[in-house]
Amino acid sequence: MTESVAIALTTLPSREEADRLAADAVAAGLAACAQVDGPVRSHYVWEGKVESEDEFRVTFKFAATKGAALEAWVHARHPYAVPQWLAFAADHASPAYRAWVLGVR
């Protein structure tokens, strides 16, 4: 089976923290690309109370084989007690894009 491309999402409380996490993950060779967007408005329940905050989403694109290392790395640097971490395989990536993502070391 050939190596696949994966995508993961997390959110952070500020653009500065999101930009730093995104840039550092790419510099560490854990992600080929990390995009920051937002603010997005999040509505959630925390410790029994309904909350809402502006957050900044980071989308990572990476070789699936790096997924566990990227997850551990993000969690070790994340300011939230329970960071969002949603990771999934890209069902399809164009051959050139896939080759680029997998070629980043």
CA distances, 29 to each of 7, 44, 57, 75 (Å): 15, 32, 20, 16
Distance in angstroms (rounded) separating the CA atoms of residues 60 and 10: 9
Q: State pTM to two decimals.
A: 0.94
The DSSP symbol for 28 reads T
Is the C-alpha dihedral spanning 48, 50, 56, 60 positive or negative? positive
State which residues of the chain have pLDDT below 70.
Answer: 1
The pLDDT score that the predictor gives to residue 25 is 98
Take residue 22 and report the two structure tokens written for it: 């995104």
The DSSP symbol for 48 reads T
Domains and CATH numbers, the chain: 5-103 (3.30.70.120)
The pLDDT score that the predictor gives to residue 3 is 86
